[in-house]
Structure 1
Amino acid sequence: MSISHSHSVPSTVSPERIQEYGVGLFDAIPTKSALKKALKKGHIRVNDRIASTATMIQGGETIVYAPPLLVIPKRSFKLKLQVIYEDDHLAIIDKPAGILVSGNQFRTIANALSQNLEVSPEQDAVTPQPAHRLDFATTGILLIGKTAESLRRLSKLFEEKKIRKCYYAVTIGEMNSSGIIDKPIDGKKAVSTFKCVASQVSPRFKLLNLVKLEPETGRRHQLRIHLSELGNPILGDRDYTPENLILKGKGMYLHAFSLELVHPFEDRSLVITAPFPERFIKLFPSLGKL
C-alpha cells in the first residue's frame, strides 16, 4: 500500500537527468542523496515506468513518487527497548550498548523498533527509522521518525544544526577543565566543546574524568577522535586508545545524555534525557542524582 505524489513536467524544460531535475520536487525527498535513494528503491516512476538515475527528462512527462506507507519487515529483531518519549510523529529511545543502530545486519535497533513503538495513525506512516546514528558501543538518546514527513523534517533540523546534543564520557588522564576542540576529521570541519565535571584517582589509569561534551558538528566518531587527539581517550574505546590503556570487557564509557529540539510539528520544545548506565554511576556516584 502506498500514497503517491505526482508532478507534471513542463514541455519547455531543457533535457536533464532526473537525479538533477527531481531534487526538491517532492517534500519527502529534498536532497540529491534522498532522491538517489528513492530512485534506487524504485519509488519513482516516469510515464509509468520505474526511473533510474540515468532516466532523462525531456519535457511533458509525468513523474510519480509512490513510497510504501508501512513496510513491516518479514522478521523483527526481538529486543525490549526503553521508550523515553513517543507521539504520532516521532519517538525517542534509550539505546543499549553493543548493538548497531542500523545496517545490513539483522541484529539492529532499526529492526527492533516496530515491536516497541505504536503504529502512527498519520497518512504517511512508515516503518519507524532512526533519524541519526550512535556508535555500536555508545548508549543513550536516539531519535526515531515514524512518518515520512517526520523523517524529512528531522533530517533538515540536523542539517541546520537545530538539534542540540549533549554527551558524557569518562576519559583517561589529566586534562583541562574546559575547552573547544576544532580539528578537521577526514578533511571536514569538526568542532566539539568539553567541560571536565569531575575527576578521581585511578590505580590503573592514574586519573579518570567525567566529561560533558557538546558536538557542534556530526562527523563519524567525532567525540572519540577529538578526545583521543587531546590525549584523553575515552575509557573502553578500543579504536582510539593506546594498547596499554585499553579496558576490556566493560564497554565504552560514552553516553548520549540529552537532546533538545523544537518539535517538528508542534510549537514546543523537547528536552529529553536518558539515565546514565550503572557503570557510569559506579565510577561517579553523583550521576545517580542527575
Structure 2
Amino acid sequence: MQLIETHIVPKLEKSIRLQEYAVGIFKILPTKSGIKKAIKKELILVDGKTTSTAQFINGRETIELFQPKESVPFKRFKLELEILFEDDFLAIIYKPSGILVSGNSFATIDNALPQNLQKSTQTDAVRPRPIHRLDYPTSGLLLVGKTNSTIISLNKLFEKKEIQKTYHAITICEMNSFGFINFTIDDKNAQTEYEVLKSVISKRFGYLNLIQLKPKTGRKHQLRKHLLAIGNPILGDKEYYKENLILNGKGLYLHASSLEFIHPHTTEKITITKELPKKFTKIFPEF
C-alpha cells in the first residue's frame, strides 16, 4: 500500500465516530460511503493501526489514508464555477443545469470545487464538499463546506430545517394561485408550499406558470413529484410528465434561486439569491 494523505485531528470539544468525522478530510475520498469502504478495506489507519467505523475520535489522532499501488491517481475536473459567497468556512456556488453534483462520474461539481475555491486556513480544513444535492437538470445555488466542523454544523442545520431554500419553476396547465402540497414520497412525509407569480396562455400547454416553491422537507425529486401529483408538472421534465406534453431540447425549468441560514461560525445571517436563467425570462421577461 502507498500513503497518499495524512490528517492530524485538532483538539475536539467532544468525541465523534470516525465514520462521521472523516467525511471530507481527504481530497480523494469525500463521501461517507467512501470512508466506510476504505475502513473495511483497511486503507485508513488511526495512529498507525487499522480501525473500524465504530471507533471514536477524541482529538490529536493521526489519520492516514492509503491506496493500493495499482490504483489510478485522482484527477480533478476542470470547470470554472461562479462563486456567490465564500469565506474560510463555507461557500455558495452556482450549479449550471446538465451536470451532476457528485457521484461516480468524473464530470461533477464535487470534482471541480478544489480548483475553484480558496483553501481554508482553519485547522480542520478539508476538501470542499457539497452539503446537499441538486438534480442533474436543475440549476441554482449549492452550499459547500470547507472545514470538518462546518460540514457537521451545516448538516445539522438541514436536519433541523434551519436552512431555507427557495426554488422557481415554470409549470404547465392551469393551477391555483397558491397552495400547500402534502403528499408522501416513498412512504415518507413530504410537504411543499407554492405560489404562482404569473401565468400566460399557451396553445400547447394551456397555461405556463412561473411559480415560487418552498420545500418544507427534502425528499428525492420532491418538487417534481409533487407538482406532477397536482396536475402541473414542470416544463421540460422528461421523468415526471403528462402524456404528449413534453418539451424537448430546453432542459428542466427548475431553478434553486435562494438560500437563507445563520452562519454556523460567525452567526451572521446569510441570504444569497441567484437570478432566473435566461430561458425563464424569455417566457416571463418582467422577471
Q: TM-score range by the shorter chain?
A: 0.7 to 0.9
Q: 1:56, CA displacement in angstroms?
A: 9.1
Superposed CA offset, 1:230-271 (max 9, x none): 100000010000230111110000000000000010121000
Question: Which of 4, 20, 26 is equivalent to 2:9?
Answer: 4
Q: 1:149, CA displacement in angstroms?
A: 1.1
Matches within 5 A, 1:66-81: 66=63, 74-81=74-81
Question: Is 2:188 the partner of 1:191?
Answer: no
Matches within 5 A, 1:234-273: 234-273=234-273
Q: Is the 8 A contact 1:44 1:64 kept in 2?
A: no
SS at match of 2:7: coil
SS at match of 2:153: helix
Say which is worse superposed, 141-150 or 73-82, in terms of deviation: 73-82
TM-score (normalised: structure 2): 0.83
Aligned AA (1:175): M
Question: Is 2:98 the partner of 1:98?
Answer: yes
Change (3 A) 1:231 1:30: farther
Change (3 A) 1:36 1:79: closer
SS at match of 2:286: helix
Aligned AA (2:114): S
SS at match of 1:244: coil
Aligned AA (2:151): L
- Which residue does 2:200 correspond to in 1? 200
Q: 1:25, CA displacement in angstroms?
A: 4.6
Q: Is the 8 A contact 1:190 1:217 kept in 2?
A: yes
SS at match of 1:285: coil
Aligned length: 262
CA–CA separation in structure 2 for the residues paired with 1:23 and 1:232? 48
Change (3 A) 1:134 1:29: same
- Structure 1 gaps of 5+ residues are 8-21
Q: 1:24, CA displacement in angstroms?
A: 3.9
CA–CA separation in structure 2 for the residues paired with 1:252 and 1:85? 25
Q: 1:137, CA displacement in angstroms?
A: 0.4
CA–CA separation in structure 1 for the residues paired with 2:77 and 2:32? 28
- Which residue does 1:41 correspond to in 2? 38
Q: 1:23, CA displacement in angstroms?
A: 8.5
Question: Is 2:122 the partner of 1:111?
Answer: no
Change (3 A) 1:63 1:144: closer
Taking only aligned residues, the RMSD between alpha carbons, in angstroms, comes to 2.9
CA–CA separation in structure 2 for the residues paired with 1:227 and 1:138? 15
TM-score (normalised: structure 1): 0.82
Change (3 A) 1:211 1:56: closer
SS at match of 2:186: coil
Identity %, equivalent residues: 48
- Which residue does 1:14 correspond to in 2? none
Q: Is the 8 A contact 1:170 1:211 kept in 2?
A: yes
Q: Is the 8 A contact 1:23 1:30 kept in 2?
A: no
CA–CA separation in structure 2 for the residues paired with 1:24 and 1:134? 28
Change (3 A) 1:200 1:169: same
CA–CA separation in structure 1 for the residues paired with 2:286 and 2:144? 30
SS at match of 1:97: coil
- Which residue does 2:68 correspond to in 1? none
Superposed CA offset, 1:18-73 (max 9, x none): xxxx9945795499xx98764433386578432235x799xxxx9957377xxxx8
- Which residue does 1:281 correspond to in 2? 281
Q: Is the 8 A contact 1:77 1:108 kept in 2?
A: yes
- Which residue does 1:15 correspond to in 2? none
Change (3 A) 1:250 1:23: farther
